[in-house]
Amino acid sequence: MNGLDALPRVPLATLPTPLHPAPRLSAELGVDVWFKRDDLTGLGLGGNKARGLEFLVADAMERGCDCIVTGAGEQSNWAALAALAARRCGLEPHLVFYGTPGRPVGNLLLDRWAGATIHYTRDAERSSVDRTIDELCARLRRAGRRPYAIPRGGATALGAVGYLLAGLELDSQLHEAGLKPATLWLATGSCGTQAGLVAAARWLGSAYRVVGVSVSRPVRECLQRVAHLSDGAADLVAMRGEADDVHVLDGYIGPGYGKPSDAGDEATALVARTEGILLDPVFGAKAMAALIAHARSDRLEGPVVFLVTGGSATLFARKGPV
Ligand SMILES: Cc1ncc(COP(=O)(O)O)c(C=O)c1O
């Protein structure tokens, strides 16, 4: 038996998300590609973060908290989904963003629709969010509130349990489809998503490798974070499998975190034009650019599953390029 039943969980996502083949993209790349559609989780505009929020928001409620405090950059998919998840459960969302206010487009617009209280650190350093979350929580407590702090990206062991479960969900879909992928590809940022998938693959003894494409952090930091969060998630639910290597790819960040890359834009266009599926410029586009580069240089063994992680709001937070 595992410890999953003991964890509080609130249903926020529409699950399971579909797994389906991408025949025209596969023909284009010469490799059998399948999509796991976590852009269709159904909270807000969908996306991967809905899965971890089911556990994080439930934990906040179980602890009797009345607001959640989290943060990131103002175009964060995480922040917008956290705000909407909080509202779904009657909690008040407070969001901390690094830097100074920008244009109310994309996710920032969603945050406003959710009525989140928004705080800016006025410091361009991403880590300024972390100390401001602590300060804000202290201030809210002094005012008699009961805040629940969640680190950037929801990257905690508890948040990663959402993707441990996604890995189990994927496993039964793979069985049903008779599919034995060589690799499962995804974009990796704060690392909780990859960590959960790695924990599930280890628990199940899956034959595929989970390949994260780093879109923000140095690979060495990702490797440590994935290993740590994956063990933490597995321990929380008593589903620890045998440890093996963690795979994170470098070289696809482009001009920087949060900035679209040319290769990412090409990947987005290819996927939209072959499969009618939208990838976001910050995460999915860069992960797909990595997959395409591997296919085109004969370094990609099939079949592969690509996790579509959502984030479509940021498609509307930039100009062009088409
Ligand atoms: C659309 C999208 N894809 C992928 C990721 C990466 O997930 P993680 O931060 O768990 O590594 C994020 C993170 O915010 C995201 O918003």
Mutation test of ligand 1: which of 78, 110, 158 has the most ligand atoms closer than 8 Å to its C-beta?
A: 78
Query: Is 47 a pocket residue for ligand 1 (Cβ < 6 Å)?
Result: yes
Q: Are residues 107 and 219 in the same domain?
A: no
Q: Can 216 be counted among the known catalytic residues?
A: no
Reported residue count of the chain is 322
If asked whether residues 38 and 184 sit together in one domain, one would say yes
Classify residue 321: in a domain, yes or no. Answer: no
pLDDT tens, residue by residue, 19-40: 999 999 999 999 999 999 999 9
Shared domain for 111 and 245, answered yes or no, is no
For ligand 1, is residue 159 a contact (CB within 6 Å)? no
| Final residue before a domain boundary, out of 135, 154, 173 | 154
Q: Specify the ligand 1 atom closest to the Cα of 195.
A: 10
Mutate to test the pocket of ligand 1, among 217, 283, 312 (most ligand atoms within 8 A of CB): 283
C-beta contacts of 11-15 below 8 A and 24+ residues apart: 11/54, 12/41, 12/43, 12/50, 12/53, 12/54, 12/57, 12/85, 12/88, 13/41, 13/42, 13/43, 13/50, 13/51, 13/54, 14/40, 14/41, 14/42, 15/41, 15/51, 15/169
Q: 75 alpha carbon to ligand 1 midpoint, in Å?
A: 12
165 shares its domain with 267? yes
CATH number at residue 121: 3.40.50.1100
State whether the beta carbon of 162 lies less than 6 angstroms from ligand 1: no
Examine the pLDDT at 322 and tell me if it is beyond 60: yes
214 Cβ below 6 A of ligand 1: no
Question: Tell me, what amino acid is at 187?
Answer: A
Q: Which atom of ligand 1 is nearest to the CA of 186?
A: 4
48 lines ligand 1 (CB under 6 A): yes
Q: How many CA atoms lie within 13 A of 61 on its CB side?
A: 18
| pLDDT tens-place string over residues 200-250 | 999 999 999 999 999 999 999 999 999 999 999 999 999 999 999 999 999
Q: Where is the domain boundary, 154, 180, 196?
A: 154
What does the alpha-carbon distance between residue 271 and residue 293 come to, in Å, rounded to a whole number?
A: 14
235 and 310: one domain?
yes
The count of domains in the chain is 2
Residues 193 and 180 in one domain: yes
What pLDDT, on a 0 to 100 scale, did the predictor assign at position 321? Answer: 86
Q: Rounded to two decimals, what is the model's pTM?
A: 0.98
Residue pLDDT, tens place only, 3-17: 888 999 999 999 999
The 10s digit of each residue's pLDDT in 59-108 is: 999 999 999 999 999 999 999 999 999 999 999 999 999 999 999 999 99
Domain end (from 129, 154, 179): 154
The confidence score (pLDDT) of residue 5 equals 87
pLDDT of residue 1 exceeding 70: no
pLDDT tens for each residue of 265-289: 999 999 999 999 999 999 999 999 9
Same domain? 143 vs 60: yes
What spacing in Å lies between the alpha carbon of 190 and ligand 1's midpoint? 7
31 and 85 co-located in one domain: no
Ligand 1 centroid – CA 27 distance (Å): 28
- Same-domain status, 64 and 35: no
User: Do the beta carbons of residue 244 and residue 281 sit within 8 Å?
Assistant: no
CA–CA dist 152, 79 (Å, integer): 8
Q: Which two tokens stand for residue 212?
A: 């994260």
Structural domain that includes position 168:
4-48+156-316
Tell me which residue has its CA closest to atom 13 in ligand 1: 189
Does any domain span residue 267? yes
End-to-end CA distance of the chain: give it in Å, rounded: 52
Average pLDDT, integer, range 175-196: 98
Same domain, 217 and 186: yes
Place of tokens 């479509």: 312
Residue 152 · residue 78 · CB < 8 Å: yes
Tell me the CA–centroid distance for residue 186 and ligand 1, in Å: 9
